[in-house]
Chain A
Amino acid sequence: MNQKDNDSDPRIAALIDQNLKRVYSDLVQEELPDRFKDLLAILKAQDAEQAGKR
């Protein structure tokens, strides 16, 4: 490889991390699919049912 493991140019590392943050924050901002709202509703309902049996 072209660089030592730890001593890559800090400016390049910063540039890469900056772009990683852009990619990641785009993903975080995507709207959650409905399936997760449905899933959570089911899990809550199951809990309520269990609680009702006690």
Chain B
Amino acid sequence: MSDRDPREAMLDHLPALRAFALSLTRNGATADDMVQDTVVKAWTNIEKFQPGTNMRAWLFTILRNTYYSSRRKLNREVSDPEGTMTNSLSVKPDHDGHLNLSDFKKAFETLPDEQREALILVGASGHTYEEAADICGVAIGTIKSRANRGRARLAELMSLDGNSPLEMTDNATMAVVAGGGGVLR
């Protein structure tokens, strides 16, 4: 496996790369363009990939650089005014601890880019804070702070607070914690 062509290994990461792109761009067509650019860049710069390092993290780095440079170029960052969605969602977890997924997605999409990417990297796709910091080119503390602010904002949007019936979710929560989801690091 170790002498496997890194270009072949790249293919394994395309679904994750595309999921990251979709989360970041919130737009299918844009996401696929980003993935295509990333694949071409990675393919033609494959000699810059250091064997033994994390291929997925390398691809994510290329993709987010592509995204942020095009965002700067287009200067069309959609602002996320605080409060547009406050009080519009009030959804309690069901007995499995599942939130209404479409409401959750809507709330997630209102977060600023930096918070969304931090949450996807450490919350969803299981990167360590160190890897996420490398991918984003910022300090570990910055990633932690972005992820925490993102979680706090989501909790607010979903009306999750100390008064939520969270005891109903303890089994699910414990399963996540026991599963090493990395939440508490």
Contacts and interface: CB of A to CB of B under 8 A. Distances in A.
A binds B: yes
Interface of A: 1-3, 5-6, 8-25, 27-30, 32-33, 35-36, 39-40, 43
Q: Which of A19, A36, A39, A43 has the most CB of B within 10 A?
A: A19
Which 6 pairs of residues, A with B, have the shortest CB-CB distance? Answer: A24-B124, A27-B19, A20-B124, A20-B123, A17-B123, A14-B173
Interface residues of B, number: 51
A19 to B, nearest CB: 5
Interface of B: 11, 14-16, 18-19, 22-23, 32, 35-36, 39-40, 43, 93, 97-99, 101, 104-105, 108, 119-120, 123-125, 144-145, 148-149, 151-152, 154-156, 160-162, 164, 166, 169-170, 172-173, 176-177, 181-184
Contacts of A40: 11, 39
A13 B35 CA distance: 30
A13 B183 contact: yes
Nearest to A10: B184
B148 A19 contact: no
Contact of A36 (B16, B36, B98, B120): B36
A-side interface mostly: helix
Contact of A27 (B18, B98, B148, B183): B18
A14 B183 contact: yes
A28 B93 CA distance: 24
A36 to B, nearest CB: 6
Q: Which of A6, A15, A23 has the most CB of B within 10 A?
A: A15
Given A5-B149, A20-B124, A30-B15, 7 more contacts: A14-B177, A16-B151, A17-B124, A21-B123, A23-B105, A27-B19, A28-B16
